[in-house]
Structure 1
Amino acid sequence: MFWWRSAAILAACALLALPVYPILGATAACLVYGIGATSVLWFHLFNLNRLARWMAEPAIDKLPESIGSWDAIFGGLYRMVRTQSKSQRLLSLTLDRFVAAGEAMPEGVVVLDENDRIEWCNPKAMQHLGLDRKKDLGQHIAYLVRQPTFQHYLAVQDYSHPVILRNLRDIDLTLSVQLVPFDTTRKMLLTRDITQLERVQTVHRDFVANVSHELRTPLTVVGGFIETLIDIPDMDAATRESQLRLMHDQTRRMGRLVEDLLTLSRLENGGELREDRVNAVALAHVLASEAEGLSQGKHKVSLQISSEAGLRGNYDELHSAFGNLVSNAVRYTPEGGELRIKWRQEGDIGVFAVEDTGIGVEPQHIPRLTERFYRVDRGRSRSTGGTGLGLAIVKHIAQRHQAKLEVKSVPGQGSCFCIRFPANRLLEPGELSSSNK
C-alpha cells in the first residue's frame, strides 16, 4: 500500500508535466516532474527521520502523526505498541504475583542457576539458611550452606528425596531440604522447618518407651509371683499373703497408669467441655479432707479461703486437676511438713494454689514438669506411687478452661503450684445457689 501510493503520486507528477512539454519544452517538463518527485522524496525522508528518532526512544505518547501512507504506518505502530505495552503489563503483573506468592510461602525457596549460584530467595529461605538477599545473590549455594550432609547431597545429584539438616548456624533448627530441577538449567532449593515435627516424634518415641517400661516392671513382678505360686503349691500362708498383697499393689499401679493414660487421651482429643457451676469453696474443703486422708496424719494440712467466688467449668476435671496437685504435695513433702490449699481472687483472676514445704524442684526441671512421664527423680517418683502423668493431665485440664498452670519452687524449701482462671470463668456467689457441686 505504501509504495503504491508513492508510485501514484509520481505518476500524477508525470501527468502534470505532459501538458508543459508542448508549451515550454522538455526542460520545463522535467523541472515540473523533478519538483514533484523531490517533494515526494522529501516527504518520505522527513517521516523516516521522525520514525528513526522515535525508534531511538519509543514511547506510545510520543508517536508522531502524519498523513497518507505514513499515517497508516504510524497508526499501525501505535496499535502494535499499545498491544505490546498491555502484554508487558500483564506479564509484569503475573510475575509480581508469582514473586509475591513465593515471598509469602511458609517454606523456603531458593532459585539456583545451572552453576548452583543463587538467583533469588524468599524471606523464609533467608531465615532458614541465614542468607542475605542483597549480598548473596550470585554466590554458590555450597559456600553458604557448609554442612557436609548438604555438600554430599549437592555432589551426588540424587534429588529424589530430601536431606535432613540439623543445628544449622548453631541454633536448634532442623530442616528438610530438597532440590527440584524445574527447567533445563535451573533448580529450586526447597527448605521446610521440621523442628517441631521432630520434637513430636521424639516425644512419641519416648512415650511408647516409657509406657512399655512402666508396664513391664509390674507385669514382671506379678508374673514372677504367679510362677512362684504355681511352683510351690504348699507355700505357707504368710508368704502367700505377702506375695498376693504385692501383686495386688502392682495391679493397682497398672490400673492407675491405664486410667491416667485414658484420661490424658480424652483430654488431648479435645472433646466438648461440659460446664458446671462449681462451688470452689466446697471443692477446696473436699480436697483438704482428701489430703488429710492421703497424709494419714503425717503432715499439717491447712485451708486458706479468701474468696466466695465459684468457677464455671467441668467439676470432675477440676477435681482431678486440683487433686493431682494435692496428692503430689503429699507425696513430695517429708513427714512433719505443711500443706496449704488456697482459693483466692487477684483482681478479676481466680487462683487455686497448693503450697508445700517439701523437697522442691531445681529450676532447670520446672519447664519440663508437665511432660508425660518426666520425672526429676525416677526412683523416688515410683516409690511414692506416681504414674508420671499427673501434671500433664493438670496442664491439659487448665488449658481446656482457658487457665494457666504456674510453678514456683525452691529446692529444699518447698513448691507452689497454682492454676490461674480468667475472669470469664469466675461466678458470683449468688450464681451458685442452684448448683449442687
Structure 2
Amino acid sequence: MTTTRTRVLLRDRNARLYLAGVLISGFGTSALWLASGVWVKDLTGSDGLAALCMLAMWAPTLAGPLLGALADRVRRKPLLIGTNLLLAALLPTLFTVDSPDRVWLLYAVLFLYGAAGVVHDAAESALVATAVAPSLLGDFNGLRMAITEGMKLVAPLAGVGLYAAYGGPSVALLDAVTFVIATALYAALRVRESRPEPSERTPATEGARHLWSHPALRALVLAGGTTMLFAGLNGALIYAVVDGLGHSPAWTGVLYAAQGAGSVAVGLLSGPALRRLGERRFAAYGIALTAVATGLRALPSDPVALACSAASGVGLPCVLIAALTAVQRETPDALLGRTVATANTLVFAPNVLGLAVGAVLVELLDQRPLSAVLGVLWLATVVPLLQNPASTGRTASKSRSDANPA
C-alpha cells in the first residue's frame, strides 16, 4: 500500500520521469548483465573469462571520486542525456563479437559502460536532490531501489531468453533502445541549472573530505561499506548453502528471487521508515536483520533458507538507502556529484573484496560455522550506529520541513 507521501511523489512530474528512466534503462542493464557472461562462456568455454564481465563493469567504481567530479563541473541534465546517448551509440559495436578473439571488445564496452554508469549515477543523484522536494528524497530513493530490484527479478531471465533465441547482438540492441528511451525521459525534465562557476571546481578529493568531516555521513558510509564487505562474503557462500540443502546449483535462483522480493518490499516502505526512525536507526535495524538472517542460514532447512533470503532482501538495502539520502541532504550542491560517487566507491568496492575472500574461505571451511560466525561479526557492526542517535542526519530525516542544510 502506498503512503500519502509516495502518492505525492508519484504526482511529481520530475519524479515520475526519473523513475520511468530508472525502470527502462534498468531493464536493459540487468538483461545485459547476465547475458554478457553467458555470451563469453559460449564463445570461450571459460568460467573465469565469463566472470570477468562483472569485474569489467565494477572496476570503474574504484575511480568514483574522479569520475563523479564531472557531475560537479558541468550541468547535470545535459550530462545525463550525453551518457545515455553515448551508451546507446556504443552498444551496437557488440554486433561484431562473434568469436573468441573479439571477446576483448565486449570487455572494453562493459568497462566503458561501468565508467559511464558511475558518472550517470553521480549526476542523477545530484540532480534529484534539486529536482525532488527534500521531504520526498527518502521515498524517492526507496522507490528507486524497489524498481531496480524488481528489474533484477525479470530482466536477467528476459535477457538470457532473448540471447538464446537471437544471440548476444539482440540483447545489446535491446539495451541500446532502452537508453534512447531513457534519454527522451531525461530530456523532458523541468529543472533549472546554471553552469558551475570556476571557483566551485574544487578538487575531486573534496567529496571524500566532506564525508570524513561530517560525523553522520561518515558513520553511515562506513556502515554501508562494512555491510557490503560482509554481503560479499555471504554471497560467496550461496552455492555451498544450496549444496548443503541437497539442491542443484539452479536453486540459487529461488533464493535470489526471495531476496529480490524482500528488497522490493523495503523499497516501498523506506520513506515512512526513514521519517519515523531516522537514517542511523533505519540502517542499524536493517543491518541487524541481515546479520541474524545470515547466521540462521547455518540451519539446514529449506523454509529457513527462503525466509533468511527474504529477510536479507529487506535488511540489506536499508543502509544503502539511508546513506544515499543522508548524502543528498547534507552535502552542498557544488560537491554533490563527487560526494555521491565517492560514497558509492566506499560502499560498493568492499563487496568485490568480500566475494574474493569468501570464495577462498568456502573452499577451506564448512559453510555452516562460517555463516554463524559471519552473522555474529556482522551484528557487531550495528553498535556504532546506535551509540550516537542524536545526529544531524537523524534530525534532518525526522524534521517535517526536511530543510536541506546545503
TM interval, shorter chain, is: under 0.3
When normalised by structure 1's length, the TM-score is 0.19
When normalised by structure 2's length, the TM-score is 0.20
Q: Name which one, 1 or 2, has greater alpha-carbon Rg.
A: 1
